[in-house]
């Protein structure tokens, strides 16, 4: 195993990786910008080095500075975490060229699967189902002709994009031309590339992803699915493992396809195949994330596999410790992303000093955080400051445990997404599991939340226990939500 690992990231994910290294007896190196001089990951690491001023382009995105620190500190491996340079094949190649091990996939696999068009063509050749769409690089006139053949509604997507940038839904031919212009401009500004393509819009799908692990000896397995449909502007906010929409047969078929796609590019390390699942149970390849995912803890909790440690072992050249048939799933896990945003005010970023911090504890509650009392939350970076993850023997217990943990969570000095998550956990449709990627947009409204009364808690508890046992939970019917005294309107359920 490596003697010293540099973590090329910040915040909660940097702390997560540093902890994994410590458990392996590996020395650690942190890097930081001026805004993060007193950050938790800086305090946690064995060594820490400044790499520049607060803007990411001058610090966390500077390949040369990070590699210089690695050489100076004697680090023999670099873990990129997620975000920043995690899916940058130039960074991975530069690390390798410097004689340092990159804890992640090969630059070739990152390059191939990082571009949505090449990824699409690769998986098509491997027999993986994809959403009907066009090739990239077409002129607007060609795209308009293809759109008519595909049939509206369609989705414009940036070839080099992610996070909803350069993406537009087009429902009529008249909307196509202006939407193309807007998508190209946004893609150019965000990625320096205005290449776009079209896909048929799958109405009200679920977003399901499959976690895979591959080693450098050609072995690839999957760890099951995660439900990632609770999204705002294409950004995931809540994740679960497993998914209420996936049964054993569908899980096996999606997993088989994910493994096949990974093998087609000689993939090793941790990665995720993302799919859209339509209302008829058909699934389509969406994209591959060639890195560790924010939501990896839910998979760890239901499988017992430490994905970060496995990434380190794979990078060290070791074979996978498991065969596919040895991966067993137990219980249910849910993750809430805690962000420094005001959900009542359209999720506006909220910076400032943390004046109070009380993190939830108790059975099967896990908090991954990058903050502490007195820490100043900067507006320079992604607003996610922590992740709250719980495990239960079934979905009912996991939901009740998450409600309890959220009620215990206290972060003072800034606005956070905790009230939003409380409302989601009190939403009848979320408890039913009858949501899709349009749920927040079409059927949920954020409002000032009151602390749940005992009567409401008792109703939820009874309904969830019934749900967990596969019984009819009549208390959760829409009629009961509108007329029953146990349910208060405005607590996250929108008629």
Q: Which residues are catalytic?
A: 291
CA distance 93 to 107: 6
Comparing C-alpha atoms, which of 312, 310, 222 is closest to residue 274? Answer: 222
User: By the 8 A CB rule, do 380 and 55 touch?
Assistant: yes
Q: How many residues does the chain have?
A: 495
> What one-character DSSP code corresponds to residue 23?
H
H or E element, residue 196: strand 196-200
State the number of CA atoms in the 13 A half-sphere of 350 facing the CB. 22
CA distance 207 to 229: 5
CA distance 286 to 276: 6
* Strand runs labelled E in 65-219: 77-79, 101-102, 154-158, 168-170, 196-200, 206-214
Comparing C-alpha atoms, which of 67, 64, 63, 21 is closest to residue 46? Answer: 21
CA distance 247 to 484: 32
DSSP result, 447-478: ---PPPPHHHHHHHHHHHHHHHTT---GGGSH
> What one-character DSSP code corresponds to residue 133?
B
CA distance 240 to 227: 5
Helices 107-114, 116-125: inter-axial angle, 10-degree rounding: 100
H or E element, residue 77: strand 77-79
CA distance 474 to 466: 9
Comparing C-alpha atoms, which of 286, 288, 261 is closest to residue 272? Answer: 288
User: By the 8 A CB rule, do 299 and 241 touch?
Assistant: yes
**3-state DSSP helix/strand/coil % of the chain, to nearest 5:** 40, 25, 40
Other residues' Cβ atoms within 10 Å of the Cβ of residue 334? 24
Q: Where do we find the tokens 């808690």?
A: 457
* Strand runs labelled E in 159-205: 168-170, 196-200
Rg (CA), the chain: 22
């Amino acid at each position: 195993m490596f003697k010293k690992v540099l973590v090329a990231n910040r915040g909660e994910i940097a702390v997560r990786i540093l902890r994994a290294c410590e458990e392996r007896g590996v020395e650690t190196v942190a890097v930081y910008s001026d805004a993060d001089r007193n950050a938790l990951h800086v305090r946690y690491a064995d060594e820490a080095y400044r790499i520049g001023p607060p803007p990411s382009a001058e610090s966390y995105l500077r390949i040369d500075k990070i590699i210089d620190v690695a050489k100076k500190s004697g680090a023999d491996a670099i873990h990129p975490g997620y975000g920043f340079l995690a899916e940058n094949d130039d960074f991975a190649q530069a690390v390798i060229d410097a004689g340092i091990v990159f804890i992640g996939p090969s630059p070739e696999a990152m390059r191939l699967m990082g571009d949505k068009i090449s990824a699409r063509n690769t998986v098509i050749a491997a027999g993986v189902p994809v959403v009907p769409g066009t090739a990239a690089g077409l002129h607007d006139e060609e795209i308009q002709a293809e759109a008519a053949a595909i049939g509206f509604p369609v989705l414009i997507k940036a070839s080099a994009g992610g996070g909803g940038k350069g993406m537009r839904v087009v429902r009529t031919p008249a909307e196509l031309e202006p939407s193309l212009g807007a998508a190209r401009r946004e893609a150019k500004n965000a990625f320096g590339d205005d290449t776009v393509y079209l896909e048929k819009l799958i109405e009200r799908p679920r977003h399901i992803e499959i976690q895979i692990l591959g080693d450098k000896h050609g072995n690839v397995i999957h760890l099951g699915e995660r439900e990632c449909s609770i999204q705002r502007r294409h950004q995931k906010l809540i994740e679960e493992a497993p998914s209420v929409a996936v049964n054993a047969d569908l899980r096996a078929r999606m997993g088989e396809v994910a493994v096949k796609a990974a093998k087609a590019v000689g993939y090793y390390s941790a990665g995720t195949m993302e799919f859209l699942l339509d209302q008829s149970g058909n699934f389509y390849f969406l994209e591959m994330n060639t890195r560790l995912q924010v939501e990896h803890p839910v998979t760890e909790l239901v499988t017992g596999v430490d994905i970060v440690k496995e990434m380190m072992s794979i990078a060290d050249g070791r074979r996978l410790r498991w065969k596919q048939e040895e991966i067993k799933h137990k219980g249910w896990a849910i993750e809430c992303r805690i962000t420094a945003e005001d959900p009542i005010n359209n999720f506006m970023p909220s910076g400032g000093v943390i004046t109070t911090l009380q993190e939830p504890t108790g059975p099967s509650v896990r908090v991954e955080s990058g903050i502490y009392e007195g820490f100043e939350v900067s507006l320079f970076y992604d607003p996610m400051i922590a992740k709250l993850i719980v495990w239960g023997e079934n979905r009912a217990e996991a939901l009740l445990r998450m409600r309890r943990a959220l009620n215990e969570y206290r972060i003072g000095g800034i606005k956070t997404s905790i009230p939003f998550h409380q409302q989601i956990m009190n939403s009848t449709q979320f408890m039913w599991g009858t949501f899709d990627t349009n749920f927040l947009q079409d059927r949920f409204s954020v409002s000032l939340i009151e602390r749940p009364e005992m009567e409401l808690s008792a109703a939820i508890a009874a309904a969830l226990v019934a749900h967990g046992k596969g019984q009819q939970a009549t208390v959760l019917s829409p009629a009961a939500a509108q007329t029953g005294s146990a349910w208060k309107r405005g607590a996250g359920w929108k008629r």
